[in-house]
Amino acid sequence: MQTGDTGLNLIKAYEGFTASPRADERRGGGFVVGYGHHTTSPMPQVSQREATNLLMRDVTPIETLIRDSVRTPLNQNEHDALVSFVFNIGAENFKRSTVLSKLNAGDKLGAAEAFERWTKARVDGKLMKLDGLVRRRAAEKSLFLMPTDAELVIPTSEVSPAEECDGQFLAPSEVTHAPLVDFDSYRRDKGRALTEEEIEGRLSALYAASHALMGDPSKMIIAKAEEREDIGVTIGAVLGAVLALALTLFAGAMALDTYAPDTAGMLGITPGLLSPVMADLPIWLLASGLGLTYFTLYIVAKRAARHSLKKARAKELGRVRGR
């Protein structure tokens, strides 16, 4: 899958455009030009068109990395968000990141939350959470969870994160990173009051999760695995429709034979033709009833499960707001 315009624009917004090469302080050497293109030696000024071509060339190996390392199906927005993420943190960091491990475990919501682990960078030798990285991760997370027909508004920033868990560069106390809101910690101590930052972060997480599960507002994000699980709905619908059509045709033939025998004879509908079907009529009725009952119960069960999920999320949201 190739990176779309949304993914390229996200990278452009955060990397910023540099026409003339300048020292690359983030990598500690070399030069950067265009939209975050790294070069070891100075090069002439570039136009925005040339910078876009360089960016498209830079994301090609990232696309290959994602194709080879991610084992779960991705839509365009999920792919583009990962391209921007890898462009910022680097391929080696991505290979050992929680984002990749969650994706390959089939936990897309967990992967989206793991974006927030990459919000720290060193400033004057100190590891700090930077607003620019928080906003970039939020934009990538929003794109990752967003339906493919929606539009993303991207703020601008230019920062590079510290590595997530590289013991060679981080002190032991700095190795463990956590999301902006620690839900497990809050569940262990439900009585304490949340800070304004925790409330905002928790509501944002619930909002993103609700949109991912229930739509935005009428769209639903359905993974390939969920599509395979819902094959039962298709089977039930097809089976019920076929049996209902067969019964309708049989009832129509009987009606013609009873009330318009001349017309039935012209159509080739005779008592001898209907007799075998009449002999097996109880079996036909039983099969039709079972097919329609299966389809109906399956739909009711799915709707009940989704309704329970909505109630649980509404209750959780109300508890966070102090209702």
Catalytic residue numbers, as ranges: 15, 24
CB of 211 closer than 8 Å to CB of 77: no
Nearest CA among 128, 71, 94, 92 for reference residue 81: 94
Maximum distance among all Cα pairs of the chain, rounded to whole angstroms: 98
Which residue type does 192 have? Answer: R
* CB-neighbour burial class of residue 91 (10 A; exposed 0-12, middle 13-18, buried 19+): middle
Encoded tokens for 82 = 């990962």
Other Cβ atoms within 10 Å of 132 Cβ, number: 17
**Those residues with Cβ within 8 angstroms of residue 263's Cβ, 6 or more apart along the chain or in another chain:** 256
Nearest CA among 179, 161, 8, 184 for reference residue 102: 179
Other Cβ atoms within 10 Å of 54 Cβ, number: 19
CB of 49 closer than 8 Å to CB of 55: no
Q: Which residues of 8-32 are buried (b: 16+ CB within 10 A; e: fewer)?
A: bebbbbbbeebeebeebebeeeebb
Residue owning tokens 């739509």:
215
Backbone angles phi, psi at 128, to 5 degrees: -135, 150
Residue owning tokens 């080879």:
68
The dihedral through the CA atoms of 222, 227, 229, 235 has a sign that is positive
Alpha helices by DSSP H, 115-230 = 131-145, 172-175, 183-188, 196-214, 224-229
How many residues are listed for the chain in this entry? 323
Alpha helices by DSSP H, 16-47 = none
